[in-house]
Structure 1
Amino acid sequence: MDNYIEKSINVRVPVHTAYNQWTQFEEFPKFMKGVKEIRQLDDTHVHWVAEIAGKHKEWDAEITEQVPDQRISWRSVAGTGNSGEVQFRPLGTSETEVRVRMGFEPESMVEKIGDALHAPDRRVEGDLERFKEFIESHGQESGAWRGEVHGGDRTA
């Protein structure tokens, strides 16, 4: 990937609550700006529909690693190129650090200019702030998937 972002935020919920909510991909549009829809295709594949730099984008992503209460890693397999990992680290019994590391490939000139102006960094920061507000205001996850994925294959 050409570009790389790393951002983190502390949320005032236990690690299992933060992780469980993050496994509810179809709810991402509630806190991710520009994400219009996510469809869970199966345990390891999701289809994204988003607006990036004013352009309609779609892509399929594969969950490559998923370990409950620790991390979720992905890579795009069709469409807009991106990959990354979200890590969850307990900070005591009722607080969690959520760290996003993401690589992406700006495609258009507008995306390249936006990247030079750090627009993707601000977008990820805003998404994490909205996730924090979402999970802290609800106090509990809306669902959970506790299976494991290794090498793109569900193992548990």
Structure 2
Amino acid sequence: MSTLEEHVDIGVPADVAWDSLHRVETYPQFLRGVREARTEGANRAHLDVEAGGRAQEFDTQITDRADQRTMEWKTTSGPDLSGSFSLLPIDQQHTRVQARVEYDPGAVREAFGGPKGFAQATAIERLVRSDLEQFKGLVEQGR
């Protein structure tokens, strides 16, 4: 498994960022490649994704550790992916959002195509960074 960690500082309180992370239906607005996302029961979500010219649908299990402001997720179908979002209050009006993604490079390549090796890691890093910047923009604009 490979692990990627990225973070972004956003100009909203941790509670606002926490609520925004839990609005699954807004994921297509900030997660590139997610065409549709919906909640399916308690702590589960279904995502319709297109990446590398390939469409995939998969389900995720979401676990909240609200006391630590951490949301963990893991795919239960499709490619083997997992990760977390952790919120670290900087002050009353600013929060650091830290994303961690764990993935099997071979499984990602098989599911979505694209480069392999270092090029794949670089592409995933750029994607996660871009998604965090999109999340920042949406949350700071109050959407």
Is the structural similarity TM-score above 0.5? yes
Counterparts of 2:28 and 2:5, CA distance in 1: 20
> May I ask how many residue pairs the two structures share in their alignment?
138
Q: CA offsets per residue over residues 99-151 of structure 1, 9 Å max, x none?
A: 0001123232974615631111100000000111111112xxx6xxxxxxxxx
Counterparts of 2:56 and 2:67, CA distance in 1: 29
Counterparts of 2:112 and 2:26, CA distance in 1: 28
Q: 1:68 to 1:114 in 2, by over 3 A?
A: farther
Counterparts of 1:25 and 1:68, CA distance in 2: 20
Paired AA for residue 24 in structure 1: R
Question: What secondary structure does 1:78 align onto?
Answer: coil
Paired AA for residue 55 in structure 2: H
Q: 2:139 — aligned with what?
A: 135
Q: 2:47 — aligned with what?
A: 48
Q: 1:116 — aligned with what?
A: 118
Mapping of residues 17-36 of structure 1, within 5 Å? 17-36=16-35
**Structure 2 unaligned blocks of 5 or more:** none
Q: 1:125 to 1:115 in 2, by over 3 A?
A: farther
Q: Give the structure-1-normalised TM-score.
A: 0.81
Q: Give the structure-2-normalised TM-score.
A: 0.88
Structure 1 stretches of 4+ with a deviation exceeding 6 A read: none
Choose 69-78 or 91-100, whichever is displaced more: 69-78
Counterparts of 2:125 and 2:81, CA distance in 1: 14
Q: CA offsets per residue over residues 14-55 of structure 1, 9 Å max, x none?
A: 000011101101101011111101110012111111112221
Q: 1:109 to 1:127 in 2, by over 3 A?
A: closer
Aligned alpha-carbon RMSD (Å) = 1.9
Mapping of residues 28-107 of structure 1, within 5 Å? 28-67=27-66, 70-105=69-104, 106-107=108-109
- C-alpha contact 2:36 2:47 (8 A) present in aligned 1: yes
| Residue identity (%) | 25
Question: What secondary structure does 2:73 align onto?
Answer: strand
- C-alpha contact 1:14 1:94 (8 A) present in aligned 2: yes
Question: What secondary structure does 2:28 align onto?
Answer: helix
Counterparts of 1:109 and 1:79, CA distance in 2: 8
How far the C-alpha of 1:58 sits from its partner, in A, is 1.2
